Amino acid sequence: MTVDASVLFSHHRLGTLDLPNRIVMAPLTRNRATPGTDAPHSMNTDYYVQRARAGLIVTEATQISQQGQGYIQTPGIYTDAQVEGWQAVTKAVHAAGGRIFLQMWHVGRVSHVSLQPGGGAPVAPSAIQAKTKTYLAHGFDSVSMPRALEIEEIVLTVRDYYNATVNARRAGFDGVEIHAANGYLIDQFLRDGSNHRTDAYGGSIENRTRFAIEVAEAVVNAWEPGRVGIRLSPASPANDMTDSNPAPLFDHLAHNLSALKLAYLHINESQTPGATPFDFTSLRRAFKGTYIANAGYTREKAAEAIVEGRADLVAFGKLYIANPDLVERFAKNAPLNEPDQASFYGGGAKGYIDYPTLDAS
Ligand SMILES: Cc1cc2nc3c(=O)[nH]c(=O)nc-3n(C[C@H](O)[C@H](O)[C@H](O)COP(=O)(O)O)c2cc1C
């Protein structure tokens, strides 16, 4: 059966922006920022420009502070050199007719002492080591034992998100996405597996969602709600996430984010294998803005989700790594390039800006 995918090419109003299609480039860490400064450079600009026909680009996760970094050569947004690097990216993407949001990242405990200021311990809601790996100069390695953030440090971390948003505006982005997914700092606060705090940031659902909501408020205050989205992964065990009862937790969070009038909720719908299926439609109902669905979508599944009202936009990760002209390929129902896993993280132009377009192949 052939699916009518024309809905993918219809316009959508996202906050203050008019998107020409429903196809989003998902955030994708590629570990190719400038060594030493973690600033984007001309090869990174080329990579995003190649993908500028997307309705929206969400950049690779970008640390808001040195403490927020967990892998080598991921870009930052906290120094002037990094802001200048991103300015070149946004200018070129806009010149190519695209729209681009910055994904703002603090990894929390998913880091290594070798990346932390002064070689100190990474920070987390609680001093619980994650059973997960990070990517360092010598390859993949276990993450370090974290220490619990002091209350005063939580306030400073919220301020780092505020400052990162100010820097993203200076860098010419169309908006920012708060990375609250995949087991990083905000997710670590949300889940009772990683958050054992006994103060106002731990225990009840209200307390565990407090940090996420304070970050969202700070980011909105630094810009405006229509320029802000957030990414969650309620059913993913990535980076050692566990929670005793995720459904009411994420429902509470989605209602509060909706009250802040954020432009979008971006849901990584990956599921813990074997667990009770998570009902994503409850989040769709709770949040009044745009719903972006992600994980495992094809052209056909994406069109179906939009037609059936389960999503407004669909983000593609691995397909966007391998197909810079994904929009054209979907429009023509053309064959797709296969992604090369060996070049996902780190390296040069190979597996980054050399995937052929339809015209070239
Ligand atoms: C190489 C690679 C890097 C990724 N980096 C990020 C990231 O920086 N931020 C994020 O939220 N998700 C990241 N993800 C997850 C993707 O955005 C996406 O959720 C995942 O690939 C599933 O979507 P897909 O089936 O369309 O690929 C990454 C995935 C891959 C394969």
Taking alpha carbons only, the member of 139, 144, 86, 140 closest to residue 115 is: 144
Of 268, 298, 338, which is best to mutate to test ligand 1, by the most ligand atoms within 8 angstroms of its C-beta?
268
Query: What's the CA gap between 153 and 143, in Å, rounded?
Result: 21
pLDDT on residue 94: 98
Q: Which residues of the chain have pLDDT under 70?
A: 1-2
Nearest CA to ligand 1 atom 31: 318
pLDDT on residue 217: 98
Residue 163 falls within a domain, yes or no? yes
Print burial letters for 269-290: b (CB count within 10 Å at least 16), e (below 16): bbbeeeeeebebeebbebbebb
Tokens, residue 225: 């709600």
Residue 352 falls within a domain, yes or no? no
DSSP label at 54? S
CATH number at residue 193: 3.20.20.70
Query: What's the CA gap between 241 and 178, in Å, rounded?
Result: 18
- pLDDT tens string 41-65: 999 999 999 999 999 999 999 999 9
pLDDT on residue 2: 65
Query: What's the CA gap between 13 and 357, in Å, rounded?
Result: 28
Q: Which domain holds residue 75?
A: 6-314
Nearest CA to ligand 1 atom 14: 28
pLDDT on residue 1: 54
In contact, 104 and 178? CB cutoff 8 Å: yes
Mark whether 264 is an active-site residue: no
- pLDDT tens string 297-329: 999 999 999 999 999 999 999 999 999 999 999
Conformation bin of residue 140: beta by default, left when phi > 0, alpha when psi is -120 to 50: beta
Residue 284 falls within a domain, yes or no? yes
* Number of neighbours of residue 1 by Cβ within 10 angstroms: 3
Exactly one of 184, 291, 297, 345 is catalytic; which is it? 184
Nearest CA to ligand 1 atom 13: 28
Residue 354 falls within a domain, yes or no? no
Phi, psi (rounded to 5 degrees) for 203:
100, -105
Indicate the number of domains in the chain.
1
Query: What's the CA gap between 209 and 270, in Å, rounded?
Result: 21
Half-sphere exposure of residue 232: CA atoms within 13 angstroms, side-chain side: 27
Tokens, residue 49: 């420009």
Protein residues whose CB sits closer than 6 Å to any atom of ligand 1: 26-29, 60-61, 103, 179, 181-182, 231, 268, 294-297, 316-319, 344
Residue 1 falls within a domain, yes or no? no
Looking from the CA of residue 61, the nearest atom of ligand 1 is 8
pLDDT on residue 273: 83
Residue 73 falls within a domain, yes or no? yes
Taking alpha carbons only, the member of 237, 204, 240 closest to residue 128 is: 240
For ligand 1, the distance from its centroid to the CA atom of residue 31, given in whole angstroms, is 13
Residue 348 falls within a domain, yes or no? no
For ligand 1, the distance from its centroid to the CA atom of residue 183, given in whole angstroms, is 13
Kindly report whether the global pTM for this prediction surpasses the value 0.85: yes
pLDDT on residue 361: 72
For ligand 1, the distance from its centroid to the CA atom of residue 139, given in whole angstroms, is 19
Residue 356 falls within a domain, yes or no? no
In contact, 146 and 106? CB cutoff 8 Å: no
